[in-house]
């Protein structure tokens, strides 16, 4: 009787996974395949097939600059998010449960607000008549309003504030999973708090750091709304370039090629980071 029940038990996970697999195939895999197919059309009239759209993009210095600028923006946002998120996540592990609840509320609260709303808030804050310029003028520190909005720096700051929870939450999880006895042993052996942090805590938190970095990077390079509203179109980035080619120029094959190249670029970065992460974890465990 028990042996006869084994096949049914083994097939149960497959039955549970079938709806998820179907959902993935219909709403993720098929659209991606369609995107790749459209990108192979030779011209905007969608006649002929080939790799013309890809050679057109990669063969132009301006297009390559747009791609590199977008990836650079993602790296800047990721770096700043890590710089701000790591102390916040570490502080979370040191405070009492009561303060942890308050900190978690502050960390998660931005996720409960639309990214569009938060982006418009930054437009109000950084505008010529915004809070920052008004305060500086009233304090007498400047004579004329500063040009804060529609700059690369403003885009990085706004995206960092929006993406920061995606960095902090994985870091908190990784730090909480570290055995407290390891820190105590390091301190007992004569290592100071800073040395323990750099040589014990941070290496063990690498998985959370990498997870947060990948989430922030992938999200920031594709953040069309924030890049457009805060950047003001002064710096052409891949999402806006894609929109421009599809909606304004009606060149859907080229827009599809831009999307595919952005996706491939992000996947390459993710693969490299995962490879470095595995080596780092192997080094730590060794």
SS3 for 180-197 is HHHHHHHHHCCCCHHHHH
Task: Say how many residues make up the chain.
Answer: 286
- Chain Cα centroid distance, residue 244: 23
Q: Which tokens go with 129?
A: 């008549």
Question: How many other C-beta atoms can be found within 10 angstroms of the C-beta atom of residue 178?
Answer: 17
Round to whole Å and give the CA distance between 260 and 67.
12
User: Which structural domains are found in the chain, ordered by start?
Assistant: 61-285 (1.10.3720.10)
Encode pLDDT of 260-270 as tens digits. Answer: 999 999 999 99
- Chain Cα centroid distance, residue 37: 27
pTM: 0.88
Encode pLDDT of 187-239 as tens digits. Answer: 888 888 888 888 888 889 999 999 999 999 999 999 999 999 999 877 899 99
CB 258 within 8 Å of CB 245: yes
Residue 277 pLDDT level (bands cut at 50, 70, 90): confident
Question: In Å, what is the CA distance from 46 to each residue of 38, 53, 91, 246?
Answer: 8, 11, 55, 13
50 SS3 class: coil
Q: Residue 93 belongs to what H/E stretch?
A: helix 61-94
């Amino acid at each position: 009787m028990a042996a006869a029940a084994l096949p049914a038990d083994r097939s149960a996970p497959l039955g549970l996974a079938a709806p998820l697999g179907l959902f993935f195939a219909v709403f993720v895999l098929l659209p991606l395949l369609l995107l790749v197919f459209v990108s192979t059309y030779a011209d905007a009239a969608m006649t002929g097939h080939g790799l013309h759209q890809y050679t057109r993009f990669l063969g132009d210095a301006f297009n390559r600059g747009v791609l590199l600028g977008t990836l650079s923006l993602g790296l800047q946002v990721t770096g700043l998010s890590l710089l701000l998120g790591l102390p916040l996540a570490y502080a979370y592990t040191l405070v009492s449960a009561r303060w942890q609840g308050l900190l978690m509320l502050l960390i998660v609260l931005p996720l409960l607000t639309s990214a569009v709303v938060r982006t418009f808030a930054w437009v109000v804050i950084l505008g010529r008549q915004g809070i920052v310029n008004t305060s500086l003028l009233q304090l007498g520190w400047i004579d004329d309003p500063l040009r804060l909005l529609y700059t690369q720096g403003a885009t990085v700051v706004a995206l960092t504030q929006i993406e920061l929870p995606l960095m902090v939450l994985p870091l908190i999880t990784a730090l909480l999973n570290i055995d407290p006895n390891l820190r105590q042993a390091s301190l007992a052996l004569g290592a100071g708090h800073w040395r323990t942090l750099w040589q014990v805590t941070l290496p063990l938190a690498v998985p959370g750091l990498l997870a947060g970095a990948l989430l922030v990077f992938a999200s920031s390079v594709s953040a069309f709304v924030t890049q457009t509203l805060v950047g003001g179109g002064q710096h052409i980035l891949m999402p806006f370039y894609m929109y421009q080619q599809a909606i304004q120029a009606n060149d859907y094959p080229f827009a599809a090629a831009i999307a595919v190249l952005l996706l491939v670029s992000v996947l390459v970065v993710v693969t490299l980071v995962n490879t470095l992460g595995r080596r780092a974890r192997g080094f730590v465990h060794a």
